[in-house]
């Protein structure tokens, strides 16, 4: 069955978006860290070679994009993170994947833990995060959630992709509030994730936002 396009009861930027982003930018997020996120941090520390660039693939799902990014960033260490052990377990090793690590963690924790450690990825990919299209779920979108300041603090060249244009436009507005410019374009290359492949095969448009978070 072809993937269905995102439908939402929201037709334009959420009216509470900027107020919410401002609140999260102004208020430190202090929720205690989940045990498995702390275990992920320990595994990251054991693996990390700080002399090499780090590429982060957040919400990596089955890690297909993580392997592809390792090929696209030779010499870098590539970290894929997802909260779903089920998805991560489906990762298929495709021969030489370079220096790649897949970790199970809640990114609301791990972004904050990594940022506090001073970790600064050169590139950060956020490919097809769950859109949470209901207006009432604004806070579950990454730009509307309490983890957004940690994402900004990590810095690097950020690339977000989504099949829901409004998600990307809201993300751009949230970045702008934080003083960060971004560029929006359509994904015209071959798919780099399973979700992207599904959406493109169904004839949907996919969108890409690029931002340099080191210039915040």
Using CB under 6 A as the criterion, which residues of the chain lie in contact with ligand SAM when the complex forms? 59-61, 65, 81-84, 87, 106-108, 127-130, 193-196
- Nearest-angstrom CA–CA distance, 201 and 181: 31
Cα 124–116–118 angle (5° rounding)?
65
Least separation in angstroms between CB 213 and ligand SAM = 19
Nearer to ligand SAM among residue 89 and residue 181 (C-beta): 89
Nearer to ligand SAM among residue 31 and residue 52 (C-beta): 31
Nearer to ligand SAM among residue 37 and residue 77 (C-beta): 37
Nearer to ligand SAM among residue 59 and residue 213 (C-beta): 59
Q: Edge-to-edge, what's the strand order for the sheet holding 182-186?
A: 99-104, 77-82, 54-58, 123-127, 157-162, 207-212, 182-186
Residue among 104, 84, 102 at smallest CA distance from 93: 102
Least separation in angstroms between CB 179 and ligand SAM = 25
Least separation in angstroms between CB 64 and ligand SAM = 7
The token pair at 88 is 């991560």
Least separation in angstroms between CB 195 and ligand SAM = 3
Q: Is 153 exposed, middle or buried (0-12, 13-18, 19+ CB in 10 A)?
A: middle
Nearer to ligand SAM among residue 60 and residue 168 (C-beta): 60
Tokens 């809201």 belong to residue = 170
Least separation in angstroms between CB 118 and ligand SAM = 21
Q: Is 42 exposed, middle or buried (0-12, 13-18, 19+ CB in 10 A)?
A: exposed
Residue nearest to ligand SAM (CB): 61
């Amino acid at each position: 069955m072809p993937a269905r396009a995102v439908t939402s009861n929201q037709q334009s930027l959420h009216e509470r978006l900027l107020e919410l982003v401002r609140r999260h930018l102004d208020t430190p997020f202090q929720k205690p860290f989940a045990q498995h996120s702390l275990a992920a941090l320990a595994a990251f520390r054991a693996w990390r070679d700080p002399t090499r660039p780090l590429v982060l693939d957040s919400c990596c799902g089955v890690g297909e994009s993580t392997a592809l990014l390792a090929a696209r960033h030779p010499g870098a260490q590539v970290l894929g993170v997802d909260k779903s052990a089920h998805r991560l377990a489906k990762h298929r090793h495709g021969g030489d994947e370079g220096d790649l690590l897949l970790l199970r963690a809640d990114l609301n924790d791990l972004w904050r833990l990594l940022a506090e450690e001073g970790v600064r990825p050169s590139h950060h990919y956020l490919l097809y995060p769950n859109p949470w299209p209901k207006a009432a779920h604004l806070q579950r979108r990454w730009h509307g959630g309490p983890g957004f300041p940690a994402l900004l603090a990590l810095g690097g060249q950020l690339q977000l992709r989504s099949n829901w244009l409004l998600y990307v436009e809201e993300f751009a507005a949230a970045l702008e509030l934080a003083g960060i410019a971004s560029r929006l374009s359509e994904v015209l290359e071959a798919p780099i994730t399973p979700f992207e492949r599904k959406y493109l095969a169904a004839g949907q448009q996919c969108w890409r936002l690029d931002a340099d978070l080191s210039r915040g």
